[in-house]
Structure 1
Amino acid sequence: MTRRSSSEGADSAIDASEAAPAGAPATTGPVGRHLGSGGGHRVLRLTALVMATVLVAAVGFVAVQVLRLQSNVSTLPLNLAEDQGSALPVDSSTDPLQILILGSDTRTGNSGEFFGDESDSSGEGNSDVMMLLTLSADREDVTVVSFPRDLLVPLPSCVDPETGDVSEALDLGQLNGALDEGGPGCTVAAINNLTGLSVDHFMMAGFNAVKELSSAVGGVEVCVQEPVDDEYSGLSLPAGTSEVEGDQALAFLRTRHSFGDGGDTGRIAAQQAFMASLARKVRAEGTLTNLPKLYSIADVITRNLTVDEGLSQPTELLKIADRMKDVDLGNIAFVTVPTEQWVEDPNRLVLNEEAAAPLFDALREDRGLTEDAPEPSATPSAPETPQAPETPAVDPATVPVLVINATTDTARGAEIQQLLAAAGYTQSSPYESVPAEVSQVVFGPGYETAAADLAARFGIPDSQVLLSEQTVGVQLVVGADLATGSKVVVPPLGSDLDGQTADQVTCQATSGL
């Protein structure tokens, strides 16, 4: 079936209006109405001309923008492995889609010295960020899987597209080093081997992409539990919530010293939180349905992006944006591929194959990770031996608790107070607050044990247990994820996967290094 363009539709409207000349007598209707009929035709003709002009201008704008964006894009081959065939063509609007997102580290010298111009870059470098973005065919689910840079995996033999050099296949090699063996196509080949997938596209961005994109959207909100002042990355943030853009956004994504245990795990968690926050902001501001703003962002991205040939048309990027614009934030999952320490070097990681298998199965079968797992079949089990109740680690009657009701249910604060009283926390008082998505426990000095106990009772993750020097006692912030029941509702992410969904607001634990 041949589709008609918008301009063809406009031409038809013009022809129809000109079929009856202005001022011609009406051949139907009461006598004396011909002047009114002729005026109606003039209105129709003027309306058609205006609509045609607007449509032609819009089509012209889009065409110019697409051509301009296309001139921005750099391309490299999708797959460089000698023993892997080419990926089958996909429809970016309707097929399951896997896109490998790479952040390249091409700086020389100290890994923290990444500010300034691009003159001190050399070669492809290593992959600073490796994320596999998967979009389901039904447009219901998005999964983003992070791969640690210290992960050891089998590396295929790759052909460098510029020099023709062939790299040696390795039984175990560091995944982020595949980029330097010929480009992103070698990392794609390694991910294919690891997951059993056939990655459809890749996007590789340099440092400027993060800086310019974060500024183009007006900053991205992030949260840290304690102040951060990292001399290596230049990241400087006060405790609590801040908006970062430019160099500070890049520092937040790249720091290896500020979060968690000071290694890659904490950094990946911060990257996932940043991406989730970016998704929330873009959705809240309607960016994906605002063509001028979308083109502005696409311009930033394409100027700083290297992609495979199949993704070099900016229209393909717009198709992907269209697919993502209506996905529920709770169905956008950010997870880290399950790993374990390598027995020969605890500073390196290898794949935890048993834990990773359900994740890779879900990706291959085009299933979202936020769906409830099937209930296991019931099997008889021996009755459990009654256990003696544990001695409380803290006397709850001595702990002052402020119950901050951040739900839309005005009775929820009183319900939580009843649950606290049943657990022995008799010194609780209510406070109504503005709605919040995520529950938290905020505690003052000396109340660490009580905070941990309350977090465990209500299922609040450690990342949402925060120390505040100004707080006396404990504050229990009751968010939308604790609007009912006695445990926070966390969207399931399958098996033992670490991560979050895009609707979850997380606050990063600092490393103290």
Structure 2
Amino acid sequence: MDAQGRGRADNVDPADQWVLNPQTGDYELRLSPSSGQSAVPGPRRSAPRGGRREQRDVPPQRRRREPQEPASGPGRRRSKPKKKSTAKKVLLWTTGGLSFVVLLTAVGGYLYYNHLNGNITVTDTPEAKNSFSKDEAFNILVIGTDKRTGKGNEGYGDKGSVGHADTNILLHVSKDRTNATALSIPRDLIVDVPDCTVDGKVIPGTSQVRFNTSLGQDGRDAGCTMKTVKAVTGITPDHFMMADFNAVKSLTSAVGGVKVCVGKDVDDPDSHLKLTKGEHNLAGEQALAFLRTRHSFGNQGDLDRIKVQQQFLGSLARKMSSSDTLKSPTKLTSLAEAATKALTVDQGIGSLTKLKDVALEIKKVPPKNLSFVTTPVVDNPTEKVHATVVVNETAAPAVFNAIKNDVSLTETKKKKKAAQAAKLKGSKSAASAVRVDIYNGSERPGAAQATLTWLQNSEGVTKSTQLGNKPTQAKTSLEYSPDQADQARRLADIMGLPASAMKEGKSETNDQGLPAIVLILGKDFKGAGTPIDGASAKAPDVDKQTADKTVCAQ
């Protein structure tokens, strides 16, 4: 959209109207007082199937403060000036037919906000959550398709592809934001694709096929790929982000390129990648060629290509954590346009505000604790000429369980872990002295009553009461006041609760008017008498890369 379309005069660069607000330290888009209010669309929806009406997500209008208006006044708290500019930003991890990519934005004006919001394409799927929680661990499936639409993409991917799941990375971000794991899933992994629903129609599953057919084949959408990931790994993706080849080219150009290292000269006639040994800054067509090449590194297979992609992503993470790109209003505008146009996402994160929330949570993870790992696999034993792989049933379960139980593959804050473990140490009251109110926040009907019966009849916790349902939560929690710590430790010992479930805070008054600790059963509840000990999962010994290390592709 040009400047005129945004309600400004012709020949005005949008970046020139980004002004640093000294009160907040943020860049804001300042429009002239005479600017008109042009109509701007909400997020784009995928082409409706079955006559569904397009939905839009447009925020309420906010009053724009003119430069001469004071930043504070009666009833308004004055913001404390910041020492350095920290422009509002969104770091979007996505893939462009092959890898994560990139970041974005800073938005200050209502019109421009809506313009960016309208760039985003949203696909509704029953497999995704309808909202994003900033207080829980989360899993985002990043999908890069091999669709060849767009100028210059004729030489990549399968000719006539409907857009298969060419690159797949399940990004798990820990609840405490100290670590994240990016799990690559090979496109040539043999799986059973389950039945899935697209626009109310059930698409039958297929057995013993490549993972990449979980998208595009027979009309399958990203929700079908999410469901396949869950079937293969046992891990439930909460949301998805999807992009094609064009995303890599536009976003790497907008960010000013990504630095890569190659351990030898490269001349790949298939991807047209030509590089001399050493470091290079790649953007646009070169970046796409680097990520697509599979004949230049390792054994020239897809698994070695995945390693190269992970190295690229680590370099990108380092650049975005240290770059001054976000201090430039002009670059911010370019990044905002490129990134929002590149993405297709689910309804739960289908707006600029929601994507910003996702990005800011990811940004909290230190690069040294962002691990890249590939699903452990072995050659398909049914093939004489090995072209596909299957899950390594010996090594893979430990990786999957670590992610499911929010266990980091890197060393994180030892002091915090020690403090949590200390909650389980100390004196324990007798079981008969434990006074607890039990709530069901799991997905199992009758869980609270079953736990009550077991505690009273089998464990001697006679002062227990079940009080019905609470909103569903991922993990079981036990909240208590400081003077009830001995009761909490006893109940945790009986139930096999991990230290992370213990929450020192306040108790509640039970139906007899007496203080009681509060037990809320979560989705990790397996049944009365079965330990709920996610802490027993340990970080597996697995080949991985971390985002803080520079690795040269060989």
Shared fold (TM-score greater than 0.5)?
Answer: yes
Alignment partner, residue 367 of structure 1: 407
Give the Cα–Cα distance (whole angstroms) in 1 for the partners of residues 338 and 257 of structure 2: 14
Matches within 5 A, 1:212-291: 212-286=250-324
Alpha-carbon deviations, 1:93-150, whole Å to 9, x = none? 2221111111111139xx98437xx9x9856321221111111121111211111111
The answer as to 2:210 corresponding to 1:174 is: yes
Aligned 8 A contact 1:362 1:368 in 2 = yes
The answer as to 2:136 corresponding to 1:95 is: yes
Alignment partner, residue 551 of structure 2: 506
Alignment partner, residue 380 of structure 2: 342
Instruction: From the superposition, tell whether residues 295 and 233 of structure 1 become closer, same or farther in structure 2 (CA, over 3 Å).
Output: same
Instruction: From the superposition, tell whether residues 6 and 238 of structure 1 become closer, same or farther in structure 2 (CA, over 3 Å).
Output: same
SS at match of 2:215: helix
Amino acid at match of 1:505: T
Instruction: From the superposition, tell whether residues 122 and 77 of structure 1 become closer, same or farther in structure 2 (CA, over 3 Å).
Output: farther
Higher helix proportion, which one? 1
Matches within 5 A, 1:391-402: none
Aligned 8 A contact 2:259 2:315 in 1 = yes
What is the deviation of 1:327? 2.1
Alignment partner, residue 105 of structure 1: 146
Alignment partner, residue 147 of structure 1: 185
Instruction: From the superposition, tell whether residues 280 and 16 of structure 1 become closer, same or farther in structure 2 (CA, over 3 Å).
Output: closer
Structure 2: runs of 5+ lacking an equivalent:
1-61, 79-105, 418-537
Matches within 5 A, 1:347-496: 347-371=387-411, 494-496=539-541
The answer as to 2:112 corresponding to 1:65 is: yes
What is the deviation of 1:62? 4.1
SS at match of 2:134: coil
Instruction: From the superposition, tell whether residues 151 and 114 of structure 1 become closer, same or farther in structure 2 (CA, over 3 Å).
Output: same
Deviates more, 1:188-197 or 1:263-272: 188-197
What is the deviation of 1:494? 4.0
What is the deviation of 1:89? 4.8
Which of 228, 236, 244 is matched with 1:190 structurally?
Answer: 228
Largest Rg, 1 or 2: 1
Aligned 8 A contact 2:184 2:306 in 1 = yes
Instruction: From the superposition, tell whether residues 87 and 326 of structure 1 become closer, same or farther in structure 2 (CA, over 3 Å).
Output: closer
Alignment partner, residue 303 of structure 1: 341
Structure 1: runs of 5+ lacking an equivalent:
18-44, 46-58, 80-85, 375-492
Instruction: From the superposition, tell whether residues 123 and 72 of structure 1 become closer, same or farther in structure 2 (CA, over 3 Å).
Output: farther
What is the deviation of 1:291? 7.8
Extract structure 1 runs of 4+ deviating beyond 6 A.
Answer: 5-8, 288-292
Instruction: From the superposition, tell whether residues 61 and 12 of structure 1 become closer, same or farther in structure 2 (CA, over 3 Å).
Output: closer
Give me the CA root mean square deviation. 3.3
Aligned 8 A contact 2:184 2:373 in 1 = yes
Deviates more, 1:321-330 or 1:272-281: 321-330
Instruction: From the superposition, tell whether residues 16 and 265 of structure 1 become closer, same or farther in structure 2 (CA, over 3 Å).
Output: closer
What is the deviation of 1:90? 4.8
Amino acid at match of 1:498: D
Give the Cα–Cα distance (whole angstroms) in 2 for the partners of residues 103 and 213 of structure 1: 14
SS at match of 1:171: strand
SS at match of 1:129: strand
Alignment partner, residue 74 of structure 1: 121
TM-score, with structure 1 as normaliser: 0.59
Alpha-carbon deviations, 1:160-211, whole Å to 9, x = none? 43xx764332332211111113121111110011122221111110111100
Alpha-carbon deviations, 1:449-471, whole Å to 9, x = none? xxxxxxxxxxxxxxxxxxxxxxx
SS at match of 2:124: coil
SS at match of 1:300: helix
Identity %: 39
Report the count of equivalent residues. 333
What is the deviation of 1:299? 2.5
Matches within 5 A, 1:154-169: 154-161=192-199, 166-169=202-205
